[in-house]
Amino acid sequence: MQTCEILQNFNPDSRSKKALQLIAARKEAATALAVILGSSVFYSIFFKASAAEVTYNIYNSDWELWGHAMNQIPKILKRSIQTDALLMWEHYQLNYDRNHAIFWQNIYGGCRAD
């Protein structure tokens, strides 16, 4: 697990928004994640992903909460999220979009605060 990186003014592009909506749309994901994430920044990122031009600040504590959420959900759901996250991470790595790449890498594998 890599060290957390704070993402400031992170503004998901249309490709990322679409991926976030797909993840949140899965019934299991919607219920399990909504309960665990409560009112965190990830709740807004996933469940209000369609909102236009919103930027997010994602801090260590948010990533930790995300990592915790991923460990609480069923394996089958975690795998489903990770498969999409890996695809997104690769896309942004290959296209030199650092912020999006960090975002999807952390969505995939979580991170630890040092």
Residues lying near another protein in the complex (CB under 8 A): 18-19, 22, 25-28, 74-77, 79-80, 83-84, 86-88, 90-91, 93-96
Q: How far is the CB of 59 from another protein (least distance, A)?
A: 25
Q: In angstroms, what CA-CA distances link 92 with 27, 77, 86, 95, 103?
A: 27, 23, 10, 5, 10
Cβ proximity to another protein, 4 vs 24, nearer residue: 24
**How far apart, in whole angstroms, are the C-alpha atoms of residue 23 and residue 47?**
10
State how far the Cα of 80 lies from the Cα of 104, in Å rounded to an integer: 14
Distance CA 10, CA 94 (A): 19
CB of 107 to another protein, least distance (A): 14
Smaller CB distance to another protein: residue 15 or 40?
Answer: 15
Q: Give least dist CB 105 to another protein, A.
A: 9
